[in-house]
Amino acid sequence: MEARAVAKYVRMSPRKARLVANMVRGKVVEDALNVLHFTPKKAALPIEKAIRSAVANMTNYEERTKVEPDEVYVKEIRVDDGYRMKRYRPGSMGRAMPIRRRTCHITVVVADIEEESAEASAEAAQA
């Protein structure tokens, strides 16, 4: 079973958010949340919220009472560019210098560990 969550229009540069996303890609959710909780980067909070939301979505999709964080892992995490807010600042000799305030969209997909290992063994048996 898979579930996903998308955090859109996060006021942060995608390049900075990708640094934190790379730290938790492929980890068990419990370990990923521990890493994010103690990471001193601003991007850790929205990524942590997106992972928690994906786990909550998995609970709703599967209609079971509780999903154990040690049975679920971060299958995919992606940070895409959002729109850019364009601002201007005074420059030298009366010019206007552009400022681009970047945003990003964070997509998280979580999946069960058991189902993924069962699918991998089934594919290996077919080959």
| Domain coordinates in residue numbering, the chain | 2-126
Per-residue pLDDT tens over the stretch 69-125: 778 999 999 999 999 999 999 999 999 999 999 999 999 999 988 766 666 666 666
Q: Residue 95: its pLDDT value, please?
A: 96
**Banded model confidence at residue 62, pLDDT cuts 50, 70, 90:** low
CA distances from 77 to 42, 90, 95 (A): 17, 38, 41
Q: Residue 115: its pLDDT value, please?
A: 66
**Banded model confidence at residue 58, pLDDT cuts 50, 70, 90:** confident
Per-residue pLDDT tens over the stretch 2-34: 889 999 999 999 999 999 999 999 999 999 999
Q: How far is CA 77 from the centre of its chain?
A: 5
Q: Which CATH architecture has domain 2-126?
A: Alpha-Beta Complex (3.90)
Q: How many residues does the chain have?
A: 127
Q: Residue 7: its pLDDT value, please?
A: 95
**C-beta of residue 29 within 8 angstroms of C-beta of residue 48:** no
> What average pLDDT is seen over the chain?
88
